[in-house]
Chain A
Amino acid sequence: MSPVIAWLRNPWGKARFLPLITLIYIIWSVVPVIIAILFAFNDGRSRTAWEGFSLRWFWTDQTLSVFHDDALQSALKHTLVLALISVLIATPLGVTLALGLQRWRGRGSGTVNVLMLLPLVTPEIVMGVALLLLFLQIFNQIGLGTTAQAIGQITFSLSYVVVMVRGRLVSIGPEYEEAAADLGAPPTQVLWRVLLPLLSPAILASAAVVFALSIDDFVVTQYLSGDASTTTVSMLLYASARGAPTPALNALATISLAITLGTLALVFIVYRRFAGGEDAAAVAGLEV
């Protein structure tokens, strides 16, 4: 047997092929992003030829930088506002729904559970069109714009909150609630002193997911947008990618990526602090 074959067949040898495949995949998926980020710092107008490092596309350029271009700045602001609204409404609503569904036994509960998961598998374009018709035909007093966009985003991100919080509810089981009631706590106290603290990792993680989903979303947000003031970063990137883009777009994308990653890092840290690190890794693993 040749030494090469012996090396390949050595069952105690270090794993080499699977790590290699993993490495190739990581490079394949990360390199384009890194290149895009890199050109956000390009000194020239080109998004392909490197002309030295500068921050002109972030703020030093007086007209074209993200900081000075009104269209870019307004898109960034609008994206963050929408994300904040989505988080503030979808998270508490989703937690309430999860608690309700968990307690609802008997007729109809199975159907509702399936319906709850429907937004997760519905193609976004279908939901986008449906919501557009809804706001044009039925809720035309609301009309298109920020409110419609927020409602649209909340509609599909709610399911994620429900699924994540219910998962945690199932894993903590009914015993802590029973113990609290047994010790004299009325139902509202059981909720505040026991259930919500125990659910907090899942609530925090789902809030982060809602935030990321909102920032990432393009289809629904695009369909429900009104005038130019309701343009988000993703819409702007899509619209100008085929025009005459400057590295300012890369800078904008870099900023929104940094915000998403920053949020996740924050959640991870806060979670570790409060949950004693019991399964922080699991929460990190939940990420989009």
Chain B
Amino acid sequence: MPPPSLAWRSDKLQGEIRLETLVKSFGDVNAVDGIDVHMPPGEFFTMVGPSGCGKTTTLRMIAGFERPTSGRILLDGEDVAQTPPHRRNVNTVFQSYALFPHLNVADNVAFGLKYKKVTKAERGKMVAEALSLVQLTGFEKRKPGQMSGGQQQRVALARALVLRPRVLLLDEPLGALDARLRKDLQVELKTLQESLGITFVFVTHDQEEALTMSDRLAVMNGGRVEQSGPPQEMYEEPATLFVADFLGVSNLVGAEATGRDGAACVLTVGDRKLLASQGDLGCRGAVKAMIRPERVRIEPQGSEGENRLPGLVEHLVFLGSFLEVRVRLLGGALVTALQANDGSETAYPQGSSVTVHLPAESLRVLPEVPTAVAEDDAASPAEDAAPAS
């Protein structure tokens, strides 16, 4: 994608969104249950979660299609929660694109310019620029029905971007495209966002998409934000069981946290002891020990040392660049390990006895239920501050 002209770049860092104890209820159900989110200006922010987690409702509240039950939506410091959608300087790319079928591409893109203070001549120029930005020059006279899904997607982008919004909202915009096109568009969207410097708020249920595209992401579940932060941090240091399980693949082994050993937490799995130096080390009682498959080491049977458990290779899955080894531990838990196909690792055939090494520095302690403390931290100060609306 060619770099857009300077006029398109927003140099002032604007498009900052803060959601403060935002609630949306439908009848008795709180679809969004008092969330606090900060979306820094000029960043690619992703809300990710399973269906029904409230991510789309949150996006629709930012766009203005849903009126919040309570709470504030600050756009560059100004509360827009009660502003109707046509007066908000944010634009949306819809999941189904919602291109007007009775208008051609140029008229679709020009639709919103009628409400901006631009002359007719400028309008034409802006439409042409927007279309070249999404590489659709020459498609002006086409009707949306005569275009492929990927092209419609680009028209929807051009139609929103031509208005130079401070924030662009994207509601699962890649959901309807096939896998290949999806990958291409992921890269394009990210490049576009970086060159325009506009805040993108992206909603998806695809955790991989969320990890690869975002500067920052929020994992939502049951109307609440489980955790938010940069993708790497979220992947490496999931704060809750849900995040650990939702982002990437995790081994979660049931364990009992019994005490402390220096900087590490002592876990008991069956009659074995493990040391874990990540996560909630102060936690006691029933916990989950979490480790990513790529951090699990498979060693020959009888290998000695701490954090080593005996097991049986139950299943091997060849993934091309990786070999997935599923090992059944003596205690009954299943641990998955990923071995890079780099020629160095010894292969263990199915059914062979091995030793599984779970390095203490990669082992995280996650409480079984989310701690009440963390929730209170997020909710109470804002509750005091927010006047009833």
Contact = CB atoms under 8 A, between A and B. Distances in A.
A and B co-occur in one complex = yes
Place the interface of chain A in its size category. 20 to 34
Nearest to A176: B98
A181 B102 contact: no
B183 interface: no
Contact of B102 (A178, A179, A198): A198
B96 A183 contact: no
Place the interface of chain B in its size category. 20 to 34
B52 interface: no
A121 B255 CA distance: 68
Interface in B57-99: 63-65, 84-87, 90-92, 94, 96, 98-99
A227 interface: no
A152 B374 CA distance: 68
Nearest to A182: B92
A274 B111 CA distance: 19
A78 to B, nearest CB: 38
A87 to B, nearest CB: 23
B115 A179 contact: no
Contacts of A187: 86
B159 interface: yes
B112 interface: yes
Nearest to A183: B112
B235 interface: no
Contact of A184 (B65, B86, B99, B102): B86
Given A184-B115, A186-B86, A179 B143 contact: no
Contacts of B64: 181-182
A179 B152 CA distance: 14
A178 B65 CA distance: 7
Contact of A194 (B90, B100, B160): B100
B107 to A, nearest CB: 10
A245 interface: no
Contact of A179 (B90, B92, B114): B92
B116 interface: yes
Contacts of B31: none
Contacts of B160: 182-183
A184 B87 CA distance: 6
Contacts of B96: 175
Nearest to A180: B111
Given A184-B115, A184-B116, A276-B143, A179 B163 contact: no
B101 interface: yes
B282 interface: no
Interface core residue of A185, A274, A278 (most chain B CB under 10 Å): A185
A278 B64 CA distance: 32
Contacts of A276: 143, 145
A172 to B, nearest CB: 9
Given A176-B98, A198-B101, A278 B112 contact: no
Given A181-B86, A184-B115, A185-B115, A278 B98 contact: no
A176 B97 CA distance: 9
Given A178-B65, A179-B92, A184 B98 contact: no
A193 B100 CA distance: 10
A110 interface: no
Given A181-B86, A183-B163, A276-B143, A176 B100 contact: yes
B84 A181 contact: yes
Interface core residue of B65, B86, B94, B159 (most chain A CB under 10 Å): B86
Contact of A183 (B84, B145, B159): B159
Contact of A178 (B90, B98, B115, B163): B98
A167 interface: no
A100 interface: no
B375 to A, nearest CB: 33
Contacts of B101: 198, 278
A278 B65 contact: no
Given A178-B65, A179-B98, A197-B102, A185 B86 contact: yes
Interface core residue of A181, A193, A198 (most chain B CB under 10 Å): A181
Given A176-B100, A178-B85, A198-B101, A184 B163 contact: yes
Among all A-B residue pairs, the 8 with the closest Cβ atoms: A183-B112, A184-B115, A179-B98, A181-B85, A175-B98, A197-B102, A182-B92, A184-B112
13 contacts: A178-B65, A178-B94, A178-B98, A181-B65, A182-B65, A182-B86, A183-B115, A183-B159, A184-B112, A184-B114, A186-B115, A194-B100, A197-B100
Interface of B: 63-65, 84-87, 90-92, 94, 96, 98-102, 111-112, 114-116, 143, 145, 159-160, 163
